[in-house]
Amino acid sequence: MIKLAKPHIPDEAIEKAVEVLRSGNLVQGKYVEEFEQALCDYLGIKNAIVVSSGTAALHLALLALEIKKGDEVIVPAFTFPATANVVELVGAKPIFVDINLSDFCIDTSKIEKVITKKTKAIIPVHEFGQSAKMDDIVRISKQYNLKIIEDAACALGAEFANQKVGTFGVFGCFSFHPRKAITTGEGGVVVTNDNELAQKVRVLRNHGISCNDGKVYFIAAGLNYRMTDFQAVLGIGQLEDITNIIIRRIEVANEYNNKLKEISWIKTPYVYENRKMVYQTYHGLLDDDKDRDDLIDYLKSKDIEANLGSQSLPSLTYYKNKYKLKAADFPKAVRAYKKGLALPMGDQVDNDDIKLIIKNLALYLL
């Protein structure tokens, strides 16, 4: 079967992870520190705090900013539920904004309409490895004194106007889940240029512990969101090859774009001149009269794994019922959810695979 995604883990990284496992030094240690420094160097940022997941990264960012009950946080209506779930977990209210169908990111023209005195932050999501329109978001955040927490879970290496995403806001949060460009199994990182906030995140990551003069002090009600050393070793090995990983993903996307010109009922991802997309997911949009779920089943019968892209959050049972939301108020998020199709992406996909995928897509309606 042509898999939707497959982790790119060099043999050297696996061998190094085995060494760490055999050493018995498994928890947060020197390789975590090495991985954090490598991420700082790659992103050009002062602080990187690796954690147990991308969701943990978002949660810690909200906690460090002291977002709490009574506050509101602006979230795109189309993304993975974790982005809104963490807002709920700190007691705040997610305020959903519809998306654009060109980049599947938040529609910045609709943000100001939902800002109130309770609004404290905005979480733009760089969906599928495509940057949100960060110039608008930065301008709005300054005008209304809002904190930006970038959900860059899918977008390590993506850029807007030659600046890497995750470095525009007070915090950037990335994921190292197996479907991402680099993976530590589960894992994530919080990045920031604010040293004081970075220290708060480090304390909250590790049970609220602060060390001073060799002594341990519990100074906060923290969590256990640490990354292990054998996970960090996997990340280090892949980060060294991140440039080539991204180049290959772009090559695969370009091949899809060229071949899919033959199929009029699939809209390919839009390519922006001032944005670098890293294609964590290759996401097409079907015409309204096409049954996406039936197409996924058809491709599976041809040994091709495909999937939906992401979720329309206001349509989810929890958010729809709690906040009395109507799908009609978020038409583009609903359409992206119902008609979005994720095709196999990664260096496991070669040009022959793409030809086979396109051939079967062309035969779907015959």
* CATH number of this structure's domain 242-363: 3.90.1150.10
Give the CATH architecture of domain 11-239. Answer: 3-Layer(aba) Sandwich (3.40)
| C-beta separation of 61 from 148 below 8 A | no
Q: What pLDDT is recorded for position 365? A: 82
How many residues make up the chain in this entry?
366
Q: Kind of pairing, strands 147-151 and 119-122?
A: parallel
Structural domain spans, the chain: 11-239, 242-363
Q: What pLDDT is recorded for position 141? A: 98
Total Cβ atoms within 10 A of residue 174: 31
Q: Helices (H), strands (E): how many in the chain? A: 12, 17
277: three-class secondary structure by DSSP:
coil
Q: What pLDDT is recorded for position 214? A: 81
Determine the distance from the C-alpha atom of residue 178 to the mean position of all C-alpha atoms in its chain, rounded to a whole number.
Answer: 12
312: three-class secondary structure by DSSP:
strand
Rounded CA gap, 134 and 327, in Å?
Answer: 26
Greater confidence (8 vs 73) lies with 73
Rounded CA gap, 214 and 217, in Å?
Answer: 10
Q: 174: which 2 tokens?
A: 């990335």
Rounded CA gap, 121 and 10, in Å?
Answer: 38
pLDDT for 234-280, tens place per residue?
999 999 999 999 999 999 999 999 999 989 999 999 999 999 999 99
Rounded CA gap, 330 and 316, in Å?
Answer: 12
Q: What pLDDT is recorded for position 353? A: 98
Question: Binning pLDDT at 50, 70 and 90, where does residue 102 land?
Answer: very high
Classify residue 99 by its DSSP letter: B
Q: What pLDDT is recorded for position 146? A: 98
pLDDT for 297-329, tens place per residue?
999 999 999 999 999 999 999 999 999 999 999
Rounded CA gap, 280 and 361, in Å?
Answer: 21
Average pLDDT over residues 100-105: 98
- Closest-CA residue to 152 (of 138, 141, 168, 139): 168
Q: 244: which 2 tokens?
A: 């080539």
Rounded CA gap, 223 and 209, in Å?
Answer: 10
| C-beta separation of 170 from 145 below 8 A | no
Total Cβ atoms within 10 A of residue 242: 17
Query: What percentage of residues in the chain have a pLDDT greater than 70?
Result: 100
Rounded CA gap, 95 and 146, in Å?
Answer: 14
pLDDT for 113-165, tens place per residue?
999 999 999 999 999 999 999 999 999 999 999 999 999 999 999 999 999 99
Greater confidence (10 vs 325) lies with 325
Average pLDDT over residues 202-227: 93
Q: What pLDDT is recorded for position 53? A: 98
Residue for token digits 């850029």? 159
- Closest-CA residue to 341 (of 315, 360, 322, 328): 360
Residue 28 has pLDDT above 90, yes or no: no
Rounded CA gap, 281 and 160, in Å?
Answer: 18
